[in-house]
Amino acid sequence: MNLASPFSITVVVITVLAFMGLPIGLSMISGSILYLWLAGADMGIVAEQFLNGMYSNYVILAVPLFILAAEFMNVGSMTERLLKFCNVLVGRFRGGLAQVNIVQSIIFAGMSGSAIADAAGSGKMMQSMMTRDGRYTPSFAAALTAVTAVVGPIIPPSIPMIIYSLVSDASIGYLFLAGMVPGLLMAVLQMVQVVITARRKNFPVEEPVPLREIPGITVRAFPALMMPVVLLGCIYSGVTTPTEAAAIAAAYALIISVVLYRSISLKDFYGSLAASAKSTASIGMLIAGALVFNYVVTIENIPHSIRVLLTGWELSPAGFLILVNVTLLVLGCLLEGTAILLIIVPVFIPTAQALGIDLVHFGVVVVVNIMLGLVTPPYGLLLFIVANISGAPIKSIIVDTGPFLFWMVVCLIFITFVPDSVLWLPRLLGYQG
């Protein structure tokens, strides 16, 4: 590589700006604009190409809508009612409150599509419940909340899968279906680890919910429980697109919270809109930067060069998937997941296609890798979020995360080398891949 070439200078500038503390999205935009200037490209024509390409791409609209739905759930009483229902299901066993944490993540996975939203919303409430009266250590409660939040974006809907669909053109509907089995498998393995830890550390047994209260708790939680049914039913019945379904999810969460539960005030409504706007702006800036930088990468023909390089290594599909897993797991320790999806993953997609790897299967493997990165030190964004909420030392949280991380890697290996575990449900509903 010519170190004085425009592309080399661009990479150096982006790296330096990022290390100086500039958000990665702005760093990529700045570096990419510098590249276009050095390469003598017409900025007006490039901007027009971007806008023409984005006008017909409605999939990105699903991201702010799912974020808004999660905000409405968190400020309303939907979260509290669902946690009580989860307690009815598994709260009576040893370590029952820890099992409740896992079950609530499975249920909330069908609503928000965001691991951070789950950890900061229902996860925050779960940490408070688990550490009350010293029943669980703050570090274990925080670690469990982090690893269970990872399940959210694997089970549909999923914001990372929406972004993957953007860069790969894979079907969002089939990606959502493909994430169902891996997400449930990961949750089951986490529950197994809780059983093992509960016996070893003699976790408390929660007081069982009286039988006479169970019907009332179920009825009060029923409208909230119907949200995933409405959301996924709209998508898979063909009535709506995933973006339209996201809008319905946000509207449903608002209507249930305002009309039925009467738990959202005007102040809460405004706060939800403001919080959603902030999150959307952050993600939108990252997407904008990555799209501009990917344009630069395409001009430089980087994906083709990497494809030629990997072809020269004569990797089998299994060998390529191992390489991708190792690469993404390492990068996940250092980079933010959305940046990996938008910058690194597009480089691998042409090679995956050339090797005959199904892009829906590949997408699920990629998303699971990126979710693991959220709980992998030293970056581990979720680890820092739960540490901030719990006040527990990050070192203790990492230690308690270890056993769960082991099972999650086992799940990743399984879905990587048994594609049918990912694809059988989409094929059952008509996928031809």
pLDDT in tens, 241-257: 777 887 888 888 888 88
Secondary structure element (H or E) that encloses residue 223, with its range: helix 214-236
Contact yes or no for 380/350 (Cβ under 8 A): no
279-299: buried (b, 16+ CB within 10 Å) or exposed (e) per residue? bbeebebbbbbbbbbbbbbee
- Can you tell me whether residue 381 is helix, strand or coil? helix
- 28 and 70 inside one domain: no
Residue 365: predicted pLDDT:
95
Q: Which has the higher per-residue pLDDT, 277 or 358?
A: 358
Q: Which has the higher per-residue pLDDT, 253 or 314?
A: 253
Residue 407: predicted pLDDT:
92
Reference 113, options 176, 185, 188, 187; nearest CA is: 176
**Which of the given ranges, 117-126, 181-190, 294-303, has the highest pLDDT on average?**
181-190
In total, how many domains does the chain have? 2
- Distance (Å, whole) CA 394 – CA 375: 11
Residue 414: predicted pLDDT:
95
Residue 125: predicted pLDDT:
67
Share of the chain above pLDDT 70, in %: 82
Residue 73 belongs to some domain of the structure: yes
Q: Which residues pair with 94 in a beta bridge?
A: 205
- 40 and 73 inside one domain: no
Residue 3: predicted pLDDT:
57
Contact yes or no for 364/164 (Cβ under 8 A): no
- Distance (Å, whole) CA 399 – CA 402: 5
User: HEC states along 108-168?
Assistant: HHCCCCCHHHHHHCHHHHHHHHHHHHHCCCHHHHHHHHHHHHCCCCCCCCCHHHHHHHHHH
- 231 and 286 inside one domain: yes
**Which of the given ranges, 70-79, 104-113, 164-173, 183-192, has the highest pLDDT on average?**
183-192
Q: Which has the higher per-residue pLDDT, 134 or 365?
A: 365
- 80 and 210 inside one domain: yes
Range from 85-89, 90-94, 335-339 carrying the lowest mean pLDDT: 90-94
Place of tokens 């989409």: 426
Say yes or no to pLDDT of 148 above 90. Answer: no
Residue 224: predicted pLDDT:
77
Place of tokens 């690893």: 147
Q: Which has the higher per-residue pLDDT, 21 or 413?
A: 413
Residue 320 belongs to some domain of the structure: yes
Query: Which whole-number Å values give the CA distances from 272 to 71, 208, 268, 346, in the listed order?
Result: 5, 35, 6, 33
Tell me the two tokens of residue 185: 């498998």
- 30 and 160 inside one domain: no
- Can you tell me whether residue 285 is helix, strand or coil? helix
Residue 401 belongs to some domain of the structure: yes
Say yes or no to pLDDT of 134 above 70. Answer: no
Q: Which of 20, 37, 56 is the last residue of a domain?
A: 56
pLDDT confidence tier of residue 344, bands split at 50, 70 and 90 = confident
Reference 217, options 407, 89, 105, 123; nearest CA is: 89
- 46 and 86 inside one domain: no
Range from 269-283, 398-412, 414-428 carrying the lowest mean pLDDT: 269-283
The residue-averaged pLDDT of 384-405 equals 83
Range from 23-27, 196-200, 272-276, 325-329 carrying the lowest mean pLDDT: 23-27
Place of tokens 């982090």: 146
Q: Which of 56, 83, 102 is the last residue of a domain?
A: 56
Q: Which of 37, 56, 75 is the last residue of a domain?
A: 56
pLDDT confidence tier of residue 304, bands split at 50, 70 and 90 = low
Range from 13-17, 88-92, 294-298, 336-340 carrying the lowest mean pLDDT: 88-92
pLDDT confidence tier of residue 158, bands split at 50, 70 and 90 = confident
- 214 and 300 inside one domain: yes
CA atoms within 13 A on the CB side of 423: 17
Say yes or no to pLDDT of 39 above 80. Answer: no
- 252 and 314 inside one domain: yes
- Distance (Å, whole) CA 272 – CA 262: 15
For the residues of 26-92, what is the DSSP string, one character each? HHHHHHHHHHHHHTT--HHHHHHHHHHHHHT--GGGHHHHHHHHHHHHHHSSHHHHHHHHHHHHHTT
Q: pTM for the complete prediction?
A: 0.76
Reference 421, options 193, 185, 188, 236; nearest CA is: 185
Residue 372 belongs to some domain of the structure: yes
Residue 39 belongs to some domain of the structure: yes
- Distance (Å, whole) CA 111 – CA 66: 8
The residue-averaged pLDDT of 330-336 equals 73
Residue 127, φ and ψ in degrees, nearest 5: -60, -40
Residue 433 belongs to some domain of the structure: no
**Domain extent at residue 197:** 59-428
Say yes or no to pLDDT of 92 above 80. Answer: no
- 151 and 95 inside one domain: yes
Range from 79-83, 91-95, 215-219 carrying the lowest mean pLDDT: 91-95
Angle, vertex CA 116, rays to CA 283 and CA 379, nearest 5: 85
Q: Kindly report the average pLDDT of the chain as a whole number.
A: 79
- Can you tell me whether residue 418 is helix, strand or coil? coil
Residue 420: predicted pLDDT:
92
The residue-averaged pLDDT of 384-395 equals 78
- Distance (Å, whole) CA 248 – CA 380: 32
Angle, vertex CA 145, rays to CA 75 and CA 191, nearest 5: 125
pLDDT confidence tier of residue 406, bands split at 50, 70 and 90 = very high
- 265 and 222 inside one domain: yes
Residue 134 belongs to some domain of the structure: yes
The residue-averaged pLDDT of 41-63 equals 67
Angle at which helix 122-131 crosses helix 138-149, to 10 degrees, equals: 150
- 45 and 176 inside one domain: no
- 74 and 45 inside one domain: no
Residue 90: predicted pLDDT:
62
Query: Which whole-number Å values give the CA distances from 291 to 239, 286, 297, 364, in the listed order?
Result: 30, 9, 10, 21
Q: Which has the higher per-residue pLDDT, 173 or 305?
A: 173
- Can you tell me whether residue 391 is helix, strand or coil? coil
The residue-averaged pLDDT of 7-13 equals 81
Residue 76: predicted pLDDT:
67
Residue 100: predicted pLDDT:
77
Residue 322: DSSP 8-state: H
Residue 355: DSSP 8-state: T
Residue 225: predicted pLDDT:
77
Place of tokens 């209260």: 213
Contact yes or no for 358/433 (Cβ under 8 A): yes
Say yes or no to pLDDT of 311 above 70. Answer: no
Residue 417: predicted pLDDT:
93
The residue-averaged pLDDT of 288-307 equals 72
Residue 211: DSSP 8-state: G
